[in-house]
Amino acid sequence: MSQDKQTKYDDNNIFAKMLNGDIPYHKVFEDDKTLAFMDIMPQAKGHVLVIPKQKTCDLEDLEPEYAAAVLMTAKKVMQAQRQVFEREGIIQMQLNGSEAGQTVFHYHLHLIPSNIHELGKHAVEMADQKELAEQAKQLAALIDA
Ligand code: AMP
């Protein structure tokens, strides 16, 4: 195991603050076990993150019921992304540990409408907030339909 693995969950991480309602975000979907929202620095148009409502840094400690719930939410989001962004290709990505490049230590699944050879840089460029709000609205409308 990597020496730098973050083993202790930090209650002040940015996704914990979202779950607590302390900071704004562009919500796509929420149920009792998961939350999906637009990535603020997308690697392609329509990049969404799905998080469990379980406090866990990465996959190692993700409980089975939350793992299942994250995947069920991911399926809903992915189907909506295919329609809204008219792309069949949706990359599912998830980083475990800083050595892998993880920057926020609350487990999250990336869903990125793109091709692996076209993927933009990770967490570099901020998106336009109005565009993110519009994309979240379009995705949410399809999921709720
Ligand atoms: P990772 O490096 O896998 O931990 O990914 C963290 C992701 O969170 C990156 O893709 C960031 O762009 C994204 N991110 C960081 N802060 C926020 C935020 N406030 N709202 C939405 N996404 C964020």
Mean pLDDT for 38-62 is 98
- Is there a contact between 26 and 136 (Cβ–Cβ < 8 Å)? yes
Domain containing 75: what range? Answer: 4-144
Calpha distance 1→55 (Å, rounded)? 21
Distance 94 CA to ligand 1 centre (A): 11
How many domains does the structure of the chain reveal?
A: 1
Indicate whether residue 123 lines ligand 1 (CB < 6 A).
yes
What is each CA distance from 56 to 29, 63, 68, 101, in whole angstroms? 20, 9, 15, 17
Indicate whether residue 104 lines ligand 1 (CB < 6 A).
yes
- Is there a contact between 25 and 37 (Cβ–Cβ < 8 Å)? yes
pLDDT in tens, 77-122: 999 999 999 999 999 999 999 999 999 999 999 999 999 999 999 9
Please report, for the domain that includes residue 82, its CATH number: 3.30.428.10
Tell me the pLDDT band of 5, cut-offs 50, 70 and 90.
low
Distance 64 CA to ligand 1 centre (A): 23
DSSP string for 91-123 = EEE---SGGGT--S-S--EEEEES-TTT---TT
pLDDT at 6 over 90: no
User: Which protein residue has the closest C-alpha to ligand 1 atom 9?
Assistant: 123
Task: Give the model's pLDDT for residue 118.
Answer: 95
Q: What is the pTM of this model?
A: 0.95
In ligand 1, which atom is closest to the CA atom of 104? 4
Residue 132 carries which DSSP code? H
Q: Could you tell me what percent of the chain has a pLDDT over 90?
A: 93
